[in-house]
Structure 1
Amino acid sequence: MSGYLVSAAQILITFVFGAVMALFMLRLLAEMARVNFYNPICQFLFRATHVLVTPLRRFVPSVRRISLAPLLLAYVAAILKMLLLTLLAGVLPHALGLLLMAVADLLDFILVLYMAIIFAAALMSMFAVEEQHPLVPFINQIATPALRPLRRMLPMLGGLDFSPAIAILIILLARALLVQPLLDFAQRLALGL
C-alpha cells in the first residue's frame, strides 16, 4: 500500500477506535461519578453502549457498584486498534506485547480524556456558560472527583482555582513518565526486540 493510503488508514483506525473507546470510558466515568442518569448525555451513552455492556455484566465483576464491563470493552477496542495499526505497518506483533501496548494505549486515552474534561470544566467556570445545557453538569460531575483532593490541598488565591492547572500538569507528567515508558517497552516486546 502506498504511504498516503497507510496514513489515511491509520487516521481512520485511530478515529473509529478512539470514538468507541470514548463511548465506553465516558459511560464508566459517568457511573463512577454518579452523574445524573437522566442527563441526555448519559442517556445517549447508556443507549449507545447498552447492547454490549449489559450481556457482559453477567461475566465481568463490579467493584463498589461500578460495572467494569465498559472498561473491558474499551480495552478490547484498544487491542483491536493496536493490532490493526501494527498489521498495517507490516508487523505481526507478539501477543504479550500487543496486550501491553493496548494497556498503555488505553491508559493514555483515559489520561487525555480526563485532561480534556478538566480543561473543559475550567473553561466553563471562567466564562458564562448556560447552566441549563446538559453538557455543563455532565462535565463538572466527572471532573469534580479528580479535582476535589487538589482543591483540599490548594487554597484559592484571589478567587482563582488552580486545581485544574495542577491536575493537567500531573496528567502530562503521568503520560511522560508512566505511559510512554510502558508503551516503549510494549512495542519492543511486540516486535520481539
Structure 2
Amino acid sequence: MTYLLNAFSLLLGLVFDAAAALFVLRLLAEASRADFHNPLSQFVYRYSNPVLAPLRRVLPNWRRLNLAALLVAWLVLLLKQLALAALAGFVPALPGLLVLAVAALVDFVLITWLVLVFGWSLLSMLQPDGYHPLLRFAGALAAPLLRPLRGRLTVGMIDFSPTVVIVALLLARLLVAAPLYDLGARLAG
C-alpha cells in the first residue's frame, strides 16, 4: 500500500508544482519585463490571468513585483504541503505550515532560476536560432541575475557569469531555504 501512496503523492506533487510554476513564471516574467510577444510569455499570461485578474484589483503590483502571482504561488505550495501531510497521516500546526509554504516558495523560485540560468547557458553554447521563443524567454528571465556579472568574468571566449550565478543560487538554497524548512518542520510539530 505504501508504494501506491508514494506514487499518488508524487503525482499530486507534480500537479501542485506545475500550477506553482505557472504563477512563478508569471511573477518572474513581469519582474524581468519579458517580451510579451513571445509565445511562451503569452501562454503563461493566458493561463494565469483568469486567476490573477480578480486578485490584481485587490492586490496591485508593488514596483515590478506581481503580488497576486506571489500570493497564488504561495497558496498553491501551502495546499501542496497540507495535502502531502494529510496523505502521510499528519496534521501540521498552522504556524509551521505557513513557514513551510514560505520555505517551499523560496526554494521553488531559486530552483526555477537555477534551471533557467543553466538551460539558457547550455542553449546559448549550442548556438541555436537566437530568435527561438524558449531561448528568448529563458534569457529574459535569467538576465536580471546575469546582468551585474556580464563581461566581468570572461576568460578568453568563455563567460563564467552563469557558473557564478548557479553557485550563488545553490548557496542560497542551502543558507536560506533549508533553514526555513527546518524552522517550519519544528513549528509544525
**TM-score, normalised to structure 1's length?**
0.94
Instruction: Report the equivalent of 1:55.
Output: 54
Say if 2:139 is the partner of 1:140.
yes
CA distance in 2: counterparts of 1:185 and 1:68, whole angstroms: 24
Q: 2:126 aligned with 1:124, yes or no?
A: no
Deviation at 1:65, TM superposition (A): 4.4
| Aligned mates of 2:14, 2:167 — CA distance in 1 | 25
User: Post-superposition shift, 1:21?
Assistant: 0.6
Pairwise CA distance, 1:113:
0.5
The Cα of 1:122 is off from its aligned counterpart by: 0.5
Counterparts of 2:167 and 2:65, CA distance in 1: 28
Which residue identity lines up with residue 29 of structure 1 in the other structure?
Answer: L
Residue in structure 2 matched with residue 115 of structure 1 by the alignment: 114
Counterpart Cα distance in 1 of 2:48 and 2:140:
20
Aligned length: 189
List runs of 5+ in structure 2 lacking aligned partners: none
CA distance in 1, matches of 2:56, 2:114: 28
Counterpart Cα distance in 2 of 1:19 and 1:155: 34
How far the C-alpha of 1:24 sits from its partner, in A, is 0.4
CA distance in 2, matches of 1:96, 1:121: 37
1:172 aligned partner = 170
The alignment yields a C-alpha RMSD, in angstroms, of 1.2
Name the % identity.
45
Q: Indicate the SS of the match to 2:148.
A: helix
Provide the residue aligned with 1:43 in structure 2: 42
TM-score (norm 2): 0.96
